[in-house]
C-alpha cells in the first residue's frame, strides 16, 4: 500500500476518535473489497467481523461481489453514489436489514481509485413505520370508498321519492312554503351527491395508477377553453393561455382536472373583481395559473392544500377539497405545488410534474 493509501486507511488517533463518535456505521474498503477500517458503530453492530475480511463475505450471502453494490458503482464512476433503500441480506439474520447507504470513492494523488468510504444508516424502524402508514392509508381509502358507495343508495332513493311527490302532485306544489322546502331538499341532496363524488375521486387518485402518455398542450388548452369560456364571459373575465411547450408527458385527464380546479377557483373567488384576467401557462416544465383578484389571505396559504379547508364560504367547492385534489394529483406525479407569496395583486400558483412517474 502506498503512503497516501496507508495514511487514509489507517487514520490517526484523533480522526479515529471523531469517526467512532459518529452515529452512522462507517467503513473503509479497498478496491478488492477488503475491510480496512470500521468505526465503533460498525464494530458494535458487527462484533464477528474483523478488518481484512471481504465485505461481501461477511455482510451478504452472495459469495462474491454483491450485484447491487453501491461501493462498486462509486469506484467505477469515480463519483458519490447513494442508495436510500438498500436491502442487505446478512448472514445469520433471518430478515433483511434496510439501510441507507452513501459511498464516496477515495483517489490517490494521481487520481487513481484506491478504495471507498461507506456510510450506512440503519433505517429499519423508518421502513417499518412507513409500512404501517401505508397499511393505515389503504384502510382509510377503503373506508372512504365503501362509505361513498353506501351513501349513494339513500341519496338516489331520496331524489326518486322527491320526483314522485312532485310528479304525482302528492304535495301542494302551489304553496310557497312547500316549494321552498322541496327546493332546499333538492339543493342538499345535490350537495351530498357532489361530496360523495369528491370523496370517491380523492380515493381513486390516492389508490389508482397514472396513465402517462404524450399529450398535446394545444388539445388540452382547447378543452379548457370549451369548459370555461361561457363562465368567463358571464363574469367579463379573460382567459389567457401561454404554453411554451407543445407536448408533455403526464396523465392527461388528471392534468386537465388540476387546471380546471385552479381556473374554477379563480372564477369563483374573484366574482367581484372587475376586468378579471386569468393567465394559464407552462414553460420549461413549470406550470402556473394566476389571476388579478383579491388573492389568498397570507394566514391561509399554509393550509390552502389541506382537505376541507377554505378561505371563505360561498365558492363552487363548498367542501374545501378542490385544492387538496390538486395537491394529491401533483403529488401522485411526483411533482410539487406552491403559492408564490411575492405575487401581488392576485394569486399565482405554480406546480411541476415528473412525467416519468407511473
Residue 196 shares a structural domain with residue 230: no
CATH code, domain with 333: 3.30.565.10
Residue 140: other Cβ atoms inside 10 A: 12
Residue 9 to residue 6: CA distance in whole angstroms = 5
By residue range, what is the domain housing residue 188?
128-207
- Sorted by sequence, the CB contacts under 8 Å of residue 217 that are 6+ apart come out as 243, 245, 246, 247, 248, 282
Residues 232-236 have a mean pLDDT of: 93
Residue 283 shares a structural domain with residue 324: yes
User: Which residues are registered as beta bridge partners of 189?
Assistant: none
Q: Residue 197 has what pLDDT? A: 77
pLDDT band at 9 (very low <50, low <70, confident <90, very high): low
* DSSP secondary structure string for all residues of 107-150: E-TTS-EEEEEEEEEE-HHHHHHHHHHHHHHHHHHHHHHHHHHH
Q: In this structure, is residue 358 part of a structural domain?
A: no
Whether 310 and 320 have beta carbons less than 8 Å apart is answered as yes
The yes-or-no verdict on residue 356 having pLDDT over 50 is: no
User: Which residues are registered as beta bridge partners of 122?
Assistant: 99
Residue 180 shares a structural domain with residue 287: no
Q: Residue 303 has what pLDDT? A: 83
Residue 291 shares a structural domain with residue 237: yes
Q: Residue 183 has what pLDDT? A: 86
- Give the DSSP letter of residue 298: G
User: Which residues are registered as beta bridge partners of 27?
Assistant: 38, 118
Residue 176 to residue 181: CA distance in whole angstroms = 9
Condensed to tens digits (0 to 9), the pLDDT of residues 154-196 reads 888 888 888 888 888 888 878 888 888 888 888 888 878 877 7
Q: How many degrees, rounded to 5, is the angle at CA 201 between CA 188 and CA 355?
A: 150
Q: Residue 314 has what pLDDT? A: 45
Q: In this structure, is residue 23 part of a structural domain?
A: yes
Query: Domain boundary residue among 207, 222, 252?
Result: 207
CATH code, domain with 83: 3.30.450.20
| Average pLDDT across the chain, whole number | 83
* Domains: count for the chain: 3
CATH code, domain with 178: 1.10.287
Residue 349 to residue 293: CA distance in whole angstroms = 13
Residues 328-352 have a mean pLDDT of: 87
- Give the DSSP letter of residue 318: T
Query: Domain boundary residue among 122, 153, 184?
Result: 122
Lowest mean pLDDT among 17-21, 126-130, 215-219, 231-235: 126-130
Q: Residue 125 has what pLDDT? A: 83
| List of E strands, 143-245 | 212-216, 238-243
Q: Residue 45 has what pLDDT? A: 82
pLDDT band at 300 (very low <50, low <70, confident <90, very high): confident
Residue 347 shares a structural domain with residue 220: yes
Query: Domain boundary residue among 207, 231, 256?
Result: 207
Residue 325 shares a structural domain with residue 220: yes
Residue 242 shares a structural domain with residue 195: no
Amino acid at each position: 500500500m502506498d503512503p497516501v493509501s496507508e495514511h487514509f486507511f489507517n487514520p490517526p488517533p484523533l480522526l479515529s476518535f471523531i469517526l467512532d463518535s459518529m452515529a452512522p456505521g462507517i467503513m473503509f474498503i479497498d478496491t478488492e473489497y477488503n475491510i480496512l477500517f470500521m468505526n465503533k458503530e460498525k464494530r458494535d453492530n458487527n462484533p464477528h467481523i474483523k478488518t481484512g475480511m471481504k465485505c461481501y463475505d461477511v455482510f451478504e450471502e452472495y459469495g462474491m461481489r454483491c450485484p447491487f453494490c453501491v461501493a462498486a458503482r462509486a469506484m467505477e464512476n469515480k463519483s458519490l453514489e447513494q442508495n436510500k433503500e438498500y436491502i442487505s441480506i446478512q448472514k445469520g439474520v433471518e430478515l433483511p436489514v434496510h439501510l441507507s447507504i452513501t459511498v464516496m470513492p477515495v483517489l490517490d494523488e494521481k487520481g487513481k481509485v484506491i478504495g471507498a468510504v461507506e456510510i450506512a444508516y440503519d433505517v429499519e424502524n423508518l421502513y417499518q413505520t412507513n409500512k404501517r402508514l401505508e397499511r393505515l392509508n389503504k384502510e382509510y381509502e377503503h373506508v372512504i370508498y365503501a362509505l361513498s358507495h353506501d351513501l349513494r343508495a339513500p341519496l338516489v332513493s331520496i331524489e326518486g321519492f322527491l320526483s314522485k311527490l312532485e310528479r304525482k302532485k302528492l304535495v301542494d306544489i302551489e304553496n310557497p312554503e312547500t316549494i321552498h322546502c322541496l327546493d332546499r331538499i333538492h339543493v342538499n341532496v345535490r350537495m351530498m351527491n357532489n361530496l360523495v363524488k369528491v370523496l370517491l375521486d380523492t380515493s381513486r387518485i390516492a389508490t389508482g395508477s397514472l396513465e402517462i402518455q404524450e399529450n398535446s398542450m394545444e388539445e388540452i388548452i382547447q378543452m379548457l377553453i370549451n369548459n370555461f369560456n361561457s363562465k368567463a364571459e358571464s363574469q367579463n373575465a379573460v382567459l389567457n393561455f401561454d404554453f411554451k411547450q407543445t407536448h408533455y408527458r403526464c396523465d392527461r385527464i388528471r392534468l386537465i382536472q388540476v387546471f380546471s380546479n385552479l381556473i374554477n377557483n379563480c372564477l369563483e373567488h374573484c366574482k367581484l373583481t372587475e376586468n378579471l384576467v386569468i393567465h394559464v401557462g407552462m414553460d420549461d416544465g413549470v406550470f402556473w395559473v394566476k389571476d388579478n383578484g383579491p388573492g389568498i389571505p397570507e394566514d391561509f396559504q399554509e393550509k390552502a392544500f389541506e382537505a376541507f379547508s377554505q378561505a371563505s364560504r360561498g365558492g363552487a367547492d363548498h367542501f374545501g377539497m378542490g385544492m387538496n385534489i390538486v395537491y394529491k394529483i401533483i403529488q401522485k406525479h411526483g411533482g410539487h405545488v406552491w403559492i408564490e407569496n411575492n405575487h401581488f395583486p392576485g394569486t399565482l400558483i405554480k406546480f411541476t410534474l415528473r412525467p416519468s412517474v407511473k
